[in-house]
Structure 1
Amino acid sequence: MTLIYGHRGAKGEAPENTLASFQQCLEHGVNRCELDLHLSRDGELMVIHDPTLKRTTGRRGKVVEHDAHELVTYDARKGGPGWVKSCPIPRLGELFEHCAFEHWQLEVKSASKVRAARTVEAIAELAEHHGLSDKVTVTSSSREVLSALKRLTPQLSRGLVAEYSWLDPIKVAQHYECEYLALNWTICTPERLAKAQKAGLHVSVWTVNEPALMRRLADFGVDSIITDFPGVAVKSLKDLNPTRP
């Protein structure tokens, strides 16, 4: 069965990486999600994709230049689907409290060695506090982040995010002892998929929004797809995933 992950919640249906977006995902019966993390100035894990605030909030500056208590007052509706109510940038802890996902892919973008260490240790501490350590996989394309995960938080599942195939993503994932391989769908060939799964990797493919492509990748045998439209995915894969609601 091909599992479904909501991309930044339900990015195509609600403002990305907001509580409303993750609740929308859950309403479709999709209980797995992918999201992005940056540290605030005071070291809290904030759920936002870009290192800067401009695209989603219209504000100037970087996430790291603001404290968490400021960031949670910024409306992150800009540039996404129309939404009536304000959608603040959430803390990761808020989502852990309010959203009962059975698995979380937490993507950490590139970071310095020091910042990578701070970020992965903060994730480990928060996941443990909420009893979710076994429901979290921390993913990244950054060697610094993956190194920090392997060195400092070996108890957490980790995954490589691979957009290009110029370096063999399977070898890189194995080097960092990853359990997940998040592949851009354009480089997910049946041969690469089979090789990755033979190596024991869960292959999660992104970002898959067209019903025909969802079905084709499911036919290939991908372990999961990451989609902006979890509701569409549920309907598109219904015959392939007969146990889904």
Structure 2
Amino acid sequence: MTQIYGHRGAKGEAPENTLTSFQKCLAHGVRRCELDLHLSRDSELMVIHDPTLKRTTGHRGKVVEHEAAELVTYDARKGGPGWVQPCPIPRLAELFEKCDFEHWQLEVKSASRVRAAHTVLAIQELTRRFGLVDKVTVTSSSREVLRALTRLTPELSRGLVAEYAWLDPLKIAQNYDCKLLALNWTLCTPERLLKAQKQGLHVSVWTVNEPALMRRLADFGVDSLITDFPGLASATLGNRC
């Protein structure tokens, strides 16, 4: 059975990585999501994809240069589907409070050693506080982040985000004892999929928005797919998810 993850909530239908987007995902009956995290200047986990604010809010500067209390006042509707009401950048804590997902893929972008350590420790603290340690997989393409997860927060499930095949993603996943492989769908051949699953990996492919591609990947036997359109995916895959 192929599971469905809403990409940044329901990115194709509502402003990405906002409470509105995650509520939209849940409204479709899709109870798994993928999102992106950056630390604020005061070390709060903020849900935003880019390290900078320009694309989604129109503000200048980096996320890390602003306090959380300031970031949550910024409207993140820019550059996405049209939306009438303001959609602020959320804290991860707010989503944990308000959204009943059964599993979360929390992607951490590349970071320095110090920043990676601060980020994974903040995730551990927050997931413990909300009792969600078993419902979270922290994913990254960054060796620094994966190293920090292995060293500092071994209780958190880890996942490798693989966009390119120039390094063997299965070997890297094995090196960091990952449980999940978030694979760019273009890299998902039946052979690689089978090999990954034999290695004990949950294979989650992204970003899958076309119904024909959803069906093809489900037929391959992918464990889950990440989509901007969770409602469309649910309708397309029907009893396969």
1:220 aligns with 2:223: no
| Distance across 2 between alignment mates of 1:240 and 1:206 | 17
Percent identity between the two aligned chains: 81
SS of residue in 2 equivalent to 1:85: coil
1:90-147 deviation digits (Å, cap 9, x = unpaired): 0000000000000000000000000000000000000000000000000000000000
How far is the alpha carbon of 1:239 from its aligned partner?
A: 4.2
- Report the equivalent of 2:130: 130
For 1:66-85, list aligned pairs within 5 A.
Answer: 66-85=66-85
Q: Which residue of 1 aligns with 2:26?
A: 26
Cα deviations by residue, 1:222-241 (Å, 9 ceiling, x for unpaired) = 00000000000001001433
Matches within 5 A, 1:29-68: 29-68=29-68
What's the counterpart of residue 174 of structure 2? Answer: 174
Partner of 1:207: 207
- Any idea what the Cα deviations from partners look like across 1:152-202, whole Å, max 9, x if unmatched? 000000000000011000000000000000000000000000000000000
Q: Residues of 2 paired with 1:239 and 1:41: CA distance?
A: 45
Q: TM-score, normalised by structure 1?
A: 0.98
In structure 1, the partner of 2:188 is 188
C-alpha RMSD of matched pairs (Å)? 0.4
Structure 1 unaligned runs (5+)?
none
Separation of aligned partners in 2, 1:239 and 1:51: 38
Distance between the aligned counterparts of 1:137 and 1:123, measured in 2?
10
TM-score by length of 2: 1.00
Amino acid at match of 2:148: A
Task: Give the secondary structure class of the aligned counterpart of 1:238.
Answer: helix
Q: Which runs of 5+ in 2 are unaligned?
A: none
The aligned counterpart of 1:150 is 150
User: Aligned partner of 1:223: which letter?
Assistant: D
Secondary structure of the residue aligned to 1:236 is helix
Q: Secondary structure at the match of 1:137?
A: strand
SS of alignment partner, residue 77 of structure 2: coil
Counting matched residue pairs gives 241
